[in-house]
Amino acid sequence: MDAFLAILPRFLLSALSALPMVFALLMAACHLRRQRPRAYLRQVAAGTVAGITALSLLWEYLFADGLAHSSTSALIFVVAPVYTLLAYVATYLVALLAGRGIAASAPVSGITRLAWLAPICLLAVLLAGVVKLAHDSYGMTVAERATSPQTLRDLYAASQRGEADGFSVPLFLAQNPNTPSDVLLALARHPHASVRSLLLQHPKVPSEAVALLANDADPDIRARARARMQAIPQQPRSTTPGAHVAPGI
């Protein structure tokens, strides 16, 4: 439930960007039914431009793999609905001025009827991205906040199978203090250097993982791992019980 509440604001804001397109499609359907080609084309044009605007702003955040979400990047989810609405209004006003030569009430031709497919396809792509965002964000939130070792193991396995984000989930697992040692050891072999680098800041990273990172291909990670190995205090050698220790001369 905590993970769901954490992703809910971003999910709602990204879904809010689709509202001008939904409104445009509903109004276009209404005008098409009443045979009002001028009003119909205005709504289609406004909905199409609004969809292009929304996808242009949100594409990287909805579909890019390996996106590490931050408070700065999250601002786009606040800005996108505003710009999408402005694009809708501006296009509607331009179409209102440009469409004066079209009859206000006339039969809508067959080709013109297909114009509504443009905004509806853009809306479908946007909603698919919103669903993907919710899925990926949920996995990242669980990776960041979960306390159950088995839950974290299952999530890591899901990221390996492609059922969860293969970069962001391991990135947050490498920072979660509750991540079990076997997962941390596996993360030491992760292909992304940023994931391996974060392991060196983990308070419970196993010595085997540090030893692997001491031979890492990245020179910075390699140097930091070797420095951490040297900083670990050496355990004193234990003497065999009953063994005779020669007195100093």
Which residue would you say has higher pLDDT here, 176 or 248? 176
pLDDT of residue 66: 47
Q: How confident is the model at residue 236 (pLDDT cuts 50, 70, 90)?
A: very low
Which residue would you say has higher pLDDT here, 92 or 37? 92
| Predicted TM-score (pTM) of this structure | 0.61
H or E, element range at 65: none
Which residue would you say has higher pLDDT here, 147 or 68? 147
Q: What is the pLDDT of residues 168-217, one digit of tens each?
A: 889 999 999 999 999 999 999 999 999 999 999 999 999 999 999 999 99
The position carrying tokens 């039914």 is 33
Tokens coding 64: 């890019």
Residue 166, pLDDT > 60, answer yes
Give the start-to-end residue ranges of the domains of the chain: 2-138, 148-231
CA 84 to CA 88: how far, in whole Å? 6
Judged on CB neighbours under 10 Å (0-12, 13-18, 19+), 174 is buried
pLDDT of residue 210: 93
pLDDT of residue 133: 76
Residue 135, pLDDT > 90, answer no
CA 97 to CA 105: how far, in whole Å? 17
Instruction: Please count the other Cβ atoms lying within 10 Å of the Cβ belonging to residue 236.
Output: 6
Q: What is the pLDDT of residues 78-129, one digit of tens each?
A: 888 899 999 999 999 998 888 665 555 556 667 777 888 999 999 999 988 8
DSSP 218: S
Angle in degrees, 0-180, between the axes of helices 117-145 and 37-63, rounded to the nearest 10 = 30
DSSP 114: G
Q: How confident is the model at residue 225 (pLDDT cuts 50, 70, 90)?
A: very high
Tokens coding 232: 């670990």
